[in-house]
Chain A
Amino acid sequence: KAGVTQTPRYLIKTRGQQVTLSCSPISGHRSVSWYQQTPGQGLQFLFEYFSETQRNKGNFPGRFSGRQFSNSRSEMNVSTLELGDSALYLCASRSGDNNEKLFFGSGTQLSVL
């Protein structure tokens, strides 16, 4: 069974640009969550999608948005990039509410110059 796949693996952008990251969950998993990981803050929750609906949202500005498609694949968008957005963005999937275990992808390393 294929794991969680994130693309691209690395990304370099400049301030003010926007970026879209992609995540394909494990087959059959309907929940997809996004996390931002930095050395200073650790893993911070961005949002969770379940069956194409945003179910939970963390404390991030509106520049961070996402969506989920009918095949459970998810995208995350960051507009008007800032230097502080440089981080590892991780996607995690799980099969449903009663399964708390998260399966993470390898992440997208975003550098904002």
Chain B
Amino acid sequence: EDQVTQSPEALRLQEGESSSLNCSYTVSGLRGLFWYRQDPGKGPEFLFTLYSAGEEKEKERLKATLTKKESFLHITAPKPEDSATYLCAVQATGGSYIPTFGRGTSLIVHP
């Protein structure tokens, strides 16, 4: 069974204080790993897809990296508007295309 564990559950940062969110996964074969951002009262919004170990993707202050067992979402010099819940999901090879989601990391950035 595919499993996704995200840590920490919650993270409080000061504006400008860089940090990383972790997503550990167990899957028979990885087809893709996804990062989503979810604001309160809204549905998740797609950020990145990573396909193979060593791959990196960047968007503004966010950078996602992937190894064979985990993914990191690095947040550089965060701003209050980066406050949100960040969700990680994995999609396995073969079978359905249904991703398995982690429970997310709630990030609060204080000004």
Measuring CB to CB, which residues of chain A are less than 8 angstroms from any residue of chain B?
4, 33, 35, 41-43, 45, 48, 55-56, 58, 90, 92, 97, 100-107
Contacts and interface: CB of A to CB of B under 8 A. Distances in A.
Contacts of A45: 98, 100
A101 B96 CA distance: 14
B98 A104 contact: no
Contacts, number: 51
A103 B46 contact: yes
Contacts of A105: 43
User: Which secondary structure dominates chain A's binding surface?
Assistant: strand
B111 interface: no
A90 B101 CA distance: 13
B19 to A, nearest CB: 21
A102 B87 CA distance: 13
B14 to A, nearest CB: 26
